[in-house]
Structure 1
């Protein structure tokens, strides 16, 4: 490593020592060199240490893997970005759209065009999380909201989704999360095999990402906590959702990984060895128009765009960030991003995010200082 990362590691150790969470793991790649550290224990009882190889539930960081897997299938010629997904999912071939966002579910208008793969990847398919109190929000809260993967098999999920109107015309606005779950169903249908098998054949197997995939029920995960009345309480429902192989393999939030694996995954994308040259750059480019961006601004704040299953920074922001930086965070307490020059940061914790505006500044700020010191010394 060209400069000392000790200020970063000291910050992470302090975060654990403060009681914010019992343990965490983090990794960075700077100047092409990777370093990974782990801190604390798997639970508040201190039963075992967190190690670099510890598997974590990565929640919405699954989306970046889903985006890469979809673009791999595009590169293989299995489909195009603008293909109508009802070619493989015929139940979605006769959709209706709410007449207005707060309309009753029965008040609809015709859809103006098909839902495409591009819509799924940019989360503009017309369905997803509605954070308001509307008939659509109430009707879809169980089906479309996280953080747990859908508690049903993919065919049941598809049938229930087909019964609902879209909340917006395809391509009209960004709506979080659910496009990634439908992407999971679509890729399995196209490949004629489970998503886990396709993932192993195309990404995790070739790149030796042995700790990445879907839960098997054999993992020794860190306990995941949420704050209640100032104390850490284990999130039992979330724990139980990952205690056995899933009936729905969700690329929206159902994957598990290790910090070294995830750094290697992002590095393979950045270095154009996972996808054909230029494909990762397209994945990490902003594909939203101004009118589509409102939902993302509500979720991620201003100055953010969306590529193919990843956020993209479009304007100057925090001192440690840069326009062109891309990545995302997961509700289970995970965060990962790649700088325009390829420098990469990944941190996995065991404390659920309390909302979309939670930050990981205690990781990104010291990493930014390390990068600034490197530029000064260069």
Structure 2
């Protein structure tokens, strides 16, 4: 059974207007283009990729060394707040604004925790841990083409309840709002085949000695059947969550099994830069200069935003039967509509044929009058007796 394109919900996809796509030959897979990111990334990444999707920018992006050419991916806000918190802590500690050891421990621990969290999550550690040569990079990019692509949709339902409990610090009962999750389910898309259509990136490999690579995923559907089932799956998931509780959350999850999102590549045979090592980075972090290290890294190393494109085709044997019922119902309604339309066409054709036959009979019965040579009507005389 082939899914029909009529009525497809184009969720942020490009649509070819006024162009029917009734056959597989006429189908354009780019009309179902979707771009998503992989892994846990900052809101600045989501904003940037959303802007690229809005402007229909596909493929790779190469940036020359700048002081901030990766801050659009890893937001420095946490690092700046952590450094400010540490400065404030040392100032208060030096001038005696913190009265007891408990306050010193709490405030200092909080500032130190923010700083350590930024050092571990700002993206630099990921680049330095995944250092490769260009030859190894080319081999890894070939591995990416064979990686299994996974796509799912996670929904949950919840509500808030007021809970009353005793606060030992204030020595009184207090009321707080507690989130109660009543339903959560993950709907897996039945990926049958994922074809890698990533553009060639080797043209960038000779532009610099070192360059940082950020891998992210974009995917499109290989046919309208695959795209139609995906929209049906999301609709079914949302309907299930709405009937379970008052509030809902939803999340689309993409994953390419084994993908490294950050890489630091260098040319083969190039002498290693001592600065591009984990040891040097740890030293910078230990003296409170992690943000300075990021600035220096951005000024010394190029950046490549590497877009991995997977074309997804569903496996009809692994579909969710409950989701598939939506298409069966839709197909039944459409078949009835087709039958009704065909009957109307047949009736119109029969009526037209009947009108043509009647017009033909009328024309045969009509005798044209020749006014140039009028003829007297012939009268038969009786025979002579």
Q: Could you say whether these structures have the same fold, taking a TM-score greater than 0.5 normalized by the shorter chain as the test?
A: no
Of Structure 1 and Structure 2, the greater strand share is in 2
Highest RCO, 1 vs 2 (Cα 8 Å, sep ≥ 6) = 2
Highest CA radius of gyration, 1 or 2? Answer: 2
**TM-score, normalising length: structure 2:** 0.21
**TM-score, normalising length: structure 1:** 0.21
